Structure 1
Amino acid sequence: MLGKIIQLVKRSDLIIEVLDAREPSLTRSKKIEQIVIKNDKKLLLVLNKGDLVPLWVLKSWKYYFKEEENRESVYVSSTSHLGTKKLRDTMKALLRGNKGVVAFIGYPKTGKSSIINALKGRHSAQTSAYPLEYGYTKSIQLFKIDNKIYAWDTPGIIPPDGNELEKIIRGYNVDLLEDPVKPAIELINRIIKASRESLKQAYGVDFTDPYDLLVKIALKRGWVYKSDKEPNIDMAAKTIIRDYHEGKITYYTLPPNLYRDDKSSSV
Structure 2
Amino acid sequence: MLTNVLNVIRKSDVVLEVIDSREPDLTRSHKIENYIEKLNKGLILVINKGDLVPRDVIEKWTNYFRKEGLAAVYISATNHMGTRILRHYIREKLKGNEGVVCFIGYPKTGKSSIINALKGKHSASTSAHPMSYGYTKTVQKFRIDSKIYAWDTPGIIPPDGSQLERIIRGYPVEKLEDPVKAALLLISRILQFDKNSLISAYKTDFTDGLDLLKKIAIKRGWFYKKDKEPIIEEAARQLIRDYHEGKITYFTLPPLDNNNENKVSNI
Name the TM tier (shorter chain).
over 0.9
Separation (CA, whole Å) in 1 of partners of 2:29 and 2:131: 23
- Structure 1: give runs of 5+ residues left out of the alignment: none
Deviation at 1:192, TM superposition (A): 1.1
**In structure 2, the residue corresponding to 1:189 is in which secondary structure?**
helix
The question of whether the paired residues in 1 share the 8 Å contact of 2:11 and 2:131 is answered with no
Matched with 1:30 is 30
Rounded to whole Å, the distance in 2 between the matches of 1:259 and 1:121 is: 38
Amino acid at match of 1:45: L
| Match in the other structure for 2:117 | 118
Does the Cα contact within 8 Å between 2:61 and 2:253 map onto a contact in 1? yes
In the alignment, what sits opposite 2:16? 16
CA-CA distance at 1:2 after TM superposition: 1.3
Give how far 1:112 is off: 0.3
Shift of 1:123: 1.1
Cα distance in 1, alignment partners of residues 258 and 102 from structure 2: 34
Q: Is the 8 A contact 2:5 2:104 kept in 1?
A: yes
The CA distance in 2 between the partners of 1:42 and 1:213, in whole Å, is 44
What is residue 88 of structure 1 aligned with on the other side?
87
Pairing 1:50-129 to 2, within 5 Å after superposition: 50-67=50-67, 69-129=68-128
In structure 1, what is the Cα distance between the partners aligned to 2:112 and 2:191?
30
SS in 1 for 2:192: helix
- 1:137 is displaced (CA, Å) by 2.8
Three-state SS of the structure 1 residue aligned to 2:235 is helix
Pair 1:152-2:151 in alignment:
yes
Following the alignment from structure 1 to structure 2, what is the Cα–Cα distance between the partners of residues 248 and 104? 24
Task: Measure how far apart 1:11 and its partner are.
Answer: 1.1
Letter paired with 1:92: R
**Is the partner of 1:37 in helix, strand or coil?**
helix
Give the 4+ runs in structure 1 shifted more than 4 A: none
String of CA shifts for 1:135-192, please: whole Å, max 9, x gaps.
2132111000000000000000001111211111111110011110011001011111
Q: Deviations over 1:7-32 (max 9, x none)?
A: 11111110000001101111101111
The 5-angstrom pairing of residues 184-223 of structure 1 reads 184-223=183-222
**After the TM superposition, which of the residue ranges 250-259 and 11-20 deviates more from structure 2?**
250-259
CA distance in 2, matches of 1:192, 1:172: 21
Pair 1:243-2:236 in alignment: no
Provide, for residues 55-109 of structure 1, a one-character-per-residue CA deviation record: whole Å limited to 9, x for no partner.
1111111111011x20011111111111111111111112111111001000000
The CA RMSD measured in Å over matched residues stands at: 1.0
The TM-score with structure 1 as length reference comes to: 0.97
Shift of the 266–3 alpha-carbon distance from structure 1 to 2, 3 Å rule, reads closer
User: What is the identity, as a one-letter code, of the residue corresponding to 2:118?
Assistant: L
Give structure 2 stretches of 5+ with no counterpart: none
CA distance in structure 1 between the partners assigned to 2:258 and 2:172 by the alignment: 32
Deviating more after overlay: 98-107 vs 83-92: 83-92
